[in-house]
Structure 1
Amino acid sequence: MDGRATVRTLVHDAPTVTDTPPASPRNRAALHTAAAERLAAEGAWEQAYGHLHAALRLLHGDEPLPDAHDELDRLRREHAEAREQSRRDSLTASYNRRYLDERLAALLADIDGTPFRTTGLCLALVDIDHFKLVNDTHGHLFGDRVLQRMVTELDAALPEGGFCARYGGEEFALVLPGRDLAQAVEISEQARDRIARHDWSDLHPDLRVTVSIGVAHAAGRIAEVERLIGEADMLLYTAKEAGRNAVAYRTARGGRVRLAGPAGARRSIPQPVRTTG
């Protein structure tokens, strides 16, 4: 096989190669390096190694070659770092909406499998009460510090397998796989209480922060992530309509909306109609 055919065969999804071979070994090496980076991004490490070795041979000729394994390790590290950064919210360092949607879809697709086929999974949507007032009073940079502190508090007691993601603005999502509704409500109520009791005075002497939370439960196969998010979102706004600083959930029997903890004694708890779409 001649050099031109080799480049055309080895370069995975590379730009179209013309009938004229690349003008120099350096150009051919660049094609191999680009192919190695793409293959590394896909986790095809052995193929990536082959392209790196070919690139090094083209660049160094008969001279002793640098260790291609070192280059491959560098690609692995850079790929892992880039992938992790792409999953994170730049302000709070919590997971972002893209990761939330992807991970929820994967969890729901496997909801009938081990380890949570009997418990399902729960999603809690958390919204900071009166956050606009915080921004209007203290400024957006101050509000950013509140959001960062909020993530610390939400992460503080997550169970194994659970994670926090920034849903948007001042809203966050707690994903709790392998937890039934009662467990998720308890975790959410503890988070609400912890935030309400937190000493925010180091940010400002008069600052007090509370959150409202809606907890939705998925048991059995669900076709769309949107249905679970929609239910949690509706319960979140029910908690707000019921006076804020509360955790709202829907009972398994009867489907009535309740508030967890002390908020459960409130007289007026709205009963939104569950959507069936």
Structure 2
Amino acid sequence: MTVLRPDIADSDDVRDGMVPEARADRAAPPPAQETGSTGLIQLHESIAALLASRGQWRQAYQHLRSALDLLYADQTEPPHVPEQLRREVDRLRREHAEAREQSLRDSLTASYNRRYLDQRLVSLLAEEATHPTGLGLALVDLDWFKQVNDTYGHLVGDRVLQRVVELLQDGLPEGAFCARYGGEEFVLVLPGIDASTAVAVCDAARARVEHYPWQQLGPGLRVTVSVGLAHSSPGNRTAAGPEQTLLQADGLLYAAKRSGRNAVAYRQNGRVRLAGAAAGRRAVAEPRAVGY
């Protein structure tokens, strides 16, 4: 009988529903003292195998633990776990952690993906009341990116996306992150940051993209981004949830695009403004109606 020992008592350590096989140097467990106990152990194992085959790993693990408790109920010393098995468990834990991290990353740019973004925004907005500085959410879109693909090819286009993400992430404050929203759109999430600092962070990221030597990737290549920045704080409740916050950022991104691109658009005192070098532009478009 193969049972899960205490040192591997973690449902995440059971990969694909299989318990690591007993090693040759593992001490054989003592037989159950009673026939009824043996039958109950076998029953727990059978249930665990059935649950594992259905992908219900946590419930399967609980039944294996019950079998283990019954098996060693009369022992005063904990079972010995060979060092080789310990190393195998550590390896499985590392592989599980790496697989989980990869599942939350965009395969092309290595930024976080939409799944991670949706999960984190729910928790961050729920915690907003405990952060007096609030939360900044910036929707970033590459300007004229279709022309980049059409002129230089999709391979160069992919490299542009990868480099843009590196530039966006460079110098982000602690706790902030970048996630791919879809296509050539990305989201910068800036928790625990006031509105003016959020504007400065976004415009610095925009400037890094503008001034990067893109000609290294293709002659005549120029890349800029437009940014729509929404900010939510306990004293200025402009967003009720993740979807509404993203809609507001999208509306401001539209304003940045309509105002000449290569700009950060944000709202201050009820008016849409442009940050940095774009602040001197005379015409500033209003966002699309998204529930302000």
> TM-score by structure 2 length?
0.74
**Contact 1:201–1:207 (8 Å) recurs in 2:** yes
**Could you say if the C-alpha distance between residues 48 and 158 of structure 1 is closer, same or farther in structure 2, counting changes exceeding 3 Å?**
farther
Equivalent residue number for residue 197 of structure 1 = 211
**Structure 1 residues 44-65: Cα deviation after superposition (integer angstroms, max 9, x where no partner):** 9x969959x99xxxxxxxxx96
Whole-angstrom CA distance in 1 between matches of 2:63 and 2:263: 52
Please report how far the alpha carbon of residue 69 of structure 1 lies from its aligned counterpart in structure 2 after TM superposition.
Answer: 2.3
**Structure 1 residues 40-92: Cα deviation after superposition (integer angstroms, max 9, x where no partner):** xx9x9x969959x99xxxxxxxxx96743223212211110110000000011
Equivalent residue number for residue 230 of structure 2 = 216
Whole-angstrom CA distance in 2 between matches of 1:67 and 1:48: 25
Equivalent residue number for residue 78 of structure 1 = 95
Q: How does 1:1-277 map to 2 (within 5 A)?
A: 1=37, 2=39, 3-8=41-46, 10=48, 13-15=51-53, 38-39=57-58, 67-113=84-130, 117-220=131-234, 223-251=240-268, 253=269, 255-272=270-287, 275-276=290-291
Aligned partner letter, 1:6: H
Larger radius of gyration: 2
**Could you say if the C-alpha distance between residues 49 and 77 of structure 1 is closer, same or farther in structure 2, counting changes exceeding 3 Å?**
farther
| Segment drifting more, 214-223 vs 158-167 | 214-223
Please report how far the alpha carbon of residue 11 of structure 1 lies from its aligned counterpart in structure 2 after TM superposition.
Answer: 5.6
RMSD over equivalenced CA pairs, Å = 2.9
Whole-angstrom CA distance in 2 between matches of 1:223 and 1:67: 52
**Contact 2:266–2:272 (8 Å) recurs in 1:** yes
Whole-angstrom CA distance in 2 between matches of 1:206 and 1:248: 27
Whole-angstrom CA distance in 1 between matches of 2:190 and 2:50: 39
Whole-angstrom CA distance in 1 between matches of 2:115 and 2:188: 14
**Contact 2:44–2:63 (8 Å) recurs in 1:** no
SS in 2 for 1:184: helix
Whole-angstrom CA distance in 1 between matches of 2:196 and 2:110: 29
Please report how far the alpha carbon of residue 262 of structure 1 lies from its aligned counterpart in structure 2 after TM superposition.
Answer: 1.7
SS in 2 for 1:88: coil
**Could you say if the C-alpha distance between residues 187 and 48 of structure 1 is closer, same or farther in structure 2, counting changes exceeding 3 Å?**
farther
Aligned partner letter, 1:7: E
> TM-score by structure 1 length?
0.78
Matched residue count: 240
Report the identity percentage. Answer: 54
Which residues of structure 2 form unaligned runs of 5+? 1-36, 70-80
Whole-angstrom CA distance in 2 between matches of 1:48 and 1:86: 28
**Structure 1 residues 103-151: Cα deviation after superposition (integer angstroms, max 9, x where no partner):** 11111111112xxx21111111110100000001111111001001111
**Contact 1:49–1:69 (8 Å) recurs in 2:** no
